[in-house]
Structure 1
Amino acid sequence: MQLTRHTDYAFRLLIDLAARGGERTQIAQVAAAQDISHSHLMKVVNRLVHAGIVDAARGRGGGIRLARDPHDINLADIVRTTEPRCPMVDCGGCKLARRCRLPAVLDRAADAFITTLERFTLADILPPAQERASPSRTAGPAALRANL
């Protein structure tokens, strides 16, 4: 399974925002720091704002920041937000579609993938320096490794 660039950018954005510790920043700053297209990142931010994962404010003193603590942002929620319709196989035009059981097997695999992501939060994937800077509610990287 390969996630889209949209999801990759969402994770990079959220990790960057977590490193800023609640300070508002401009989309352009994150785009430059992460070498991401500004217009593409705006689309990612818009989707994450609508999902309540990122907070955005316009005007003087505005910008973006995490809407919740990294411990409260589940990785599965991020993927569900950025990959709302992510079939593992496109059966359109396949002559075997009516007799094939592959889509059902792949759906189960995708469910297992999401179930695994549900066990982790944004805090679990932050680099160690960021983890020390944020209040700890988990055992950190050791817990992450133990859960794998």
Structure 2
Amino acid sequence: MRLTMYTDFSLRVLIYLGTKEPDKLTTIQEISEAYSISKNHLTKVTFELGKAGFIHTVRGRGGGIRLADLPQNINVGTVVRKMEDDFHLVECFDPTTNRCPISPVCGLRGVLGKALHAYLAVLDEYTLEDLMFNKEGLREILKT
């Protein structure tokens, strides 16, 4: 399983925000500079993170973003499920586009489905707080 860059950037934004004081606003520009990621990409990511309820956004002068909840309450598996556009590991996972002739008798879909379930189950065991076990090291590298 490979996460999209979109989900990768989403997790990075959450980690960055998790290193900040809970009430402190951060700008997309700050995160863009810390990770050397396009501000345009991060704008789209933060919009979706806001829609999904992971961050609060404050518009206007002096605005910014911050986590909507404490890091220990943000589940990594939930973030990945909300930010990934699909989990179609192979063609037969999507019944609307599946044209594989062996689908009715092939065991691959079941095996990969089980693997995907296990992958997500592992992610469900972790929170944003767990990803930031070395918060001081993150702050030093990210200059937060």
**TM range, smaller chain:** 0.7 to 0.9
Instruction: Give 5+ residue unaligned stretches, structure 1.
Output: 134-148
Where do residues 55-70 of structure 1 align in structure 2 (5 Å cutoff)? Answer: 55-70=56-71
Letter in 1 for 2:53: G
Give the 3 Å change call, closer, same or farther, for CA 120–48 of structure 1 in structure 2. same
Instruction: Return the match for 2:111 from 81, 105, 108.
Output: 105
Shift of 1:12: 0.9
SS in 2 for 1:64: strand
Kept after mapping to 2: 8 A contact 1:18/1:130: no
The answer for the alignment partner of 2:132 in structure 1 is: 126
Shift of 1:69: 0.3
The answer for the alignment partner of 2:35 in structure 1 is: 34
Shift of 1:82: 0.9
Give the paired residue count: 132
Instruction: Give 5+ residue unaligned stretches, structure 2.
Output: 93-97, 140-144
Shift of 1:11: 1.1
Shift of 1:93: 3.6
Where do residues 1-148 of structure 1 align in structure 2 (5 Å cutoff)? Answer: 1-22=1-22, 23-91=24-92, 92-130=98-136
Rounded to whole Å, the distance in 2 between the matches of 1:21 and 1:81 is 25
Percent pairwise identity: 38
Letter in 1 for 2:11: F
Shift of 1:130: 4.5
SS in 1 for 2:6: helix
Higher mean C-alpha displacement, 119-128 vs 65-74: 119-128
Shift of 1:46: 1.2
SS in 2 for 1:98: helix
Shift of 1:20: 1.7
The answer for the alignment partner of 2:95 in structure 1 is: none
